[in-house]
Structure 1
Amino acid sequence: MTNELTAKQSRFSVEYLIDLNATQAAIRAGYSEKSAADIGAELLINPGVRSAISDAIAARTERTQITSDWVLERLADDMEADIADLFGDDNQLLPVDEWPMVFRKGLVSGCDIEERYGDSSGGGRMITGRVIKLRFSDRLKRLELIGRHVSVNAFRDVIEVRGLSGLADRLARAAMRADVEAVQFTDVTPPLPAAAAPG
């Protein structure tokens, strides 16, 4: 068996890296939308396609130096960041260029500044103060991402499958049982209550 890929298979390998969505990658690679889900699943188990995807991921990791360890370290830094580091000894917000890098690289997702005005002694208006509202990235989401990391598995909700060798046989036996057993499905939806008449 050859590992040579067709043009569409090769394109699928490239498209899959965009969002890791096999169905969308199949569509972008030129396969029919109608059969894209099935074709995408088939392509992911094709040894040649899997090899091409693995090679591309390895090349991207080498190029960007972004590994799962890097991501986990960054998430951990975000979780351990102390908001008190944004304030000086006088409890005033520090200028942005004095913030720790973790806040400047995305932990603070936005900043709203509202100026307060009052009347001056000369009859005009003057700034009497500022209200600065910082928006932070979702730290709970970051914690969840850490928990879902491959080696942490804190929120693991996927059953690990060691091999697919017997899966086809089990599915075939289950399909035969379903044909043999006349399974009846009954509607168990309770009836809707009748509308109450105005009294």
Structure 2
Amino acid sequence: MALGEKRGRFVEEYLHDLNATQAAIRAGYSAKTAYSQGQRLLKDVEILAAISEAKAARSERTKIDADWLLRRLADEAEADVADLYDEQGSLRPVSEWPLIWRKGLVAGLDVEEIKSEGVTIGIIRKVKLSDRVKRLELIGKHVEVQAFREQVGHGNPDGSPLVTRIELVSPGDGDSEA
């Protein structure tokens, strides 16, 4: 399927950051109309097919797919912070940390030496962990847990309305006799 130069370029650019507006600009569409052009292009059947095909090819090349992602998220969610410390409770050197911790579970490491008269008398090490709850949310969105659903629908399974008629009754409009 031949998309043409500009539309083909849009597909390539869209795959960089999944931002249709920026992809349209980088593909050569006017910055003034890039938002609407990007949205229009994402509704085009040929563009969608090309994006889907390119994503599948990229997954094949990188060997990263939904199974890989879920395995990685599960490994990260189950990683034990105790693995970062030795038997005496001291932080291990980074080179001794399990690989899963070195690949993104630690969001930051701050090391501060405390000195007195030019002599180091102590070291403070602060380890900032990445957001583990976010990982659980991502896992929940990819499996049928339904724990992190964005929207909850209220309706009958057949699509019929829950309520078909509501009657308002004023006080005194009852069956009681005066």
- Normalised to the residue count of structure 2, the TM-score between the two structures is 0.75
Residues 1:63 and 2:61 aligned together: yes
Q: Structure 2 stretches of 5 or more lacking a match?
A: 154-178
How far residue 142 of structure 1 moved from its aligned partner, in angstroms, is 2.1
Q: Distance in 2 between matches of 1:30 and 1:155?
A: 38
Residues 1:30 and 2:28 aligned together: yes
Q: Distance in 2 between matches of 1:152 and 1:51?
A: 29
Number of the residue aligned with 2:3 = 5
Residues 1:103 and 2:101 aligned together: yes
Q: Distance in 2 between matches of 1:150 and 1:17?
A: 24
Number of the residue aligned with 1:138 = 131
SS at match of 1:45: coil
Residues 1:126 and 2:124 aligned together: no
Q: Quick one: structure 1 residues 106 and 11, their matched pair in 2 at CA, closer, same or farther if it must change by over 3 Å?
A: same
Deviations 1:162-187 (A, max 9, x none): xxxxxxxxxxxxxxxxxxxxxxxxxx
Residue correspondence of structure 1 range 1-199 to structure 2 within 5 A: 3-118=1-116, 125-149=118-142, 152-157=145-150
Letter in 2 for 1:132: R
Q: Distance in 2 between matches of 1:117 and 1:36?
A: 56
Number of the residue aligned with 1:176 = none
Q: Quick one: structure 1 residues 129 and 46, their matched pair in 2 at CA, closer, same or farther if it must change by over 3 Å?
A: same
Deviations 1:79-130 (A, max 9, x none): 1111111111121211212111111111112211122234xxxxx6532221
Letter in 2 for 1:130: I
SS at match of 1:148: helix
- Normalised to the residue count of structure 1, the TM-score between the two structures is 0.68
Number of the residue aligned with 2:157 = none
Q: Runs of 4 or more off by more than 4 Å in structure 1?
A: 150-153
Letter in 2 for 1:78: E
Q: Distance in 2 between matches of 1:151 and 1:46?
A: 30
Q: Distance in 2 between matches of 1:37 and 1:72?
A: 32
Q: Quick one: structure 1 residues 4 and 127, their matched pair in 2 at CA, closer, same or farther if it must change by over 3 Å?
A: closer
Q: Distance in 2 between matches of 1:115 and 1:146?
A: 39
Deviations 1:24-69 (A, max 9, x none): 2112111122322222222222222122111111111111111122
Percent identity among equivalent residues? 54
Which has the larger displacement, 143-152 or 102-111?
Answer: 143-152
Letter in 2 for 1:144: E
How far residue 151 of structure 1 moved from its aligned partner, in angstroms, is 5.0
Letter in 1 for 2:141: R
Q: Distance in 1 between matches of 2:150 and 2:101?
A: 31
